[in-house]
Amino acid sequence: MSTHLPKVAWIGLGIMGSPMAENLIKAGYDVTGYTLEAAKLERLAAAGGTAAGSIAEAVRDADVIVTMVPASPQVEAIAYGEDGILAHARSGALLIDTSSITPQTSVDLAKAAADKGVRVLDAPVSGGEAGAVEAVLSIMVGGEQADFDEAKPLLDALGTTVIRCGPHGAGQTVKAANQLIVAVNIQACAEAVVFLEKSGVDLNAALEVLNGGLAGSTVLTRKKENFLTREFAPGFRIDLHHKDMGIVTDAARTVGAALPVGSVVADLVASLRAQGDGGLDHSALLRGVERLSGLPVRD
């Protein structure tokens, strides 16, 4: 391990967190991780990281602390708890939160951390599980320019598009917009799939030619096989996209921005979740369109 690289604590080793932490290890970083699932800690150790028994143990000697947890309540729990990050991180440490949470939560965290001498960047990511595994994530960052400059080499080991978008909370605001665009895009693709199949067109051929023109998108590239096979193993769960659509609709209401299409798609995501599909990949929005179109949903 290089002595020139900062010592990293990683909190949260789920679908996204595990491959991201492993990419830091591959890049030469000394990574100590903590998560609630023992199997994920074993995976980290097998990849060359160090498993910690608590958040306090993981962060105590860390120069940089990276967090990747599901939502604002989890960020607040790991940051503010008695065994939490702010209680045990050393003064001068840099906390990079890659979770997707409300912009206000990020702003509040930065203020609370400053009182403890801890610097904070909100750095949510886009690209899903495949992007995390391949280290090609898009990372949108909020915080001080100097802290971003310090974090940039580490973030470059996780993604290919790493951009500071403004002050604390700006990264989360851009991520909310990202989730709006992705949800609307998936819904449009899902509606096209059902329309094409009901019209008797070869779906594989149709999606291939559509993806070569203006209708093409990263969403269609990444989710084409899901649409063709109706396999919806979670790369990004409907439950989490439901949470994110709540963030963007609330944030938009706060600033007075209308989301006429986004609001409808937010309802469709909520509906899919209510029908028991919350644990599936967000490409399962196709199942909602199939139900509305009177098609049998394949289980």
Which residues carry out catalysis? Answer: 175
Q: CA-to-CA distance for 53 and 217, rounded, in angstroms?
A: 42
The string over 58-73, giving b where at least 16 C-beta atoms fall within 10 Å of a residue's C-beta and e elsewhere, is bbeebbbbbbbbbbbe
Q: Are 72 and 104 a contacting pair, CB within 8 Å? A: no
The string of DSSP letters for 182-204 reads HHHHHHHHHHHHHHHHHTT--HH
For residue 64, what are the contacts with CB-CB under 8 A and spacing of at least 6? 6, 7, 8, 9, 93, 94, 95, 96, 151, 154
Q: CA-to-CA distance for 178 and 160, rounded, in angstroms?
A: 16
Backbone phi, then psi, for 156, in 5-degree steps? Answer: -65, -20
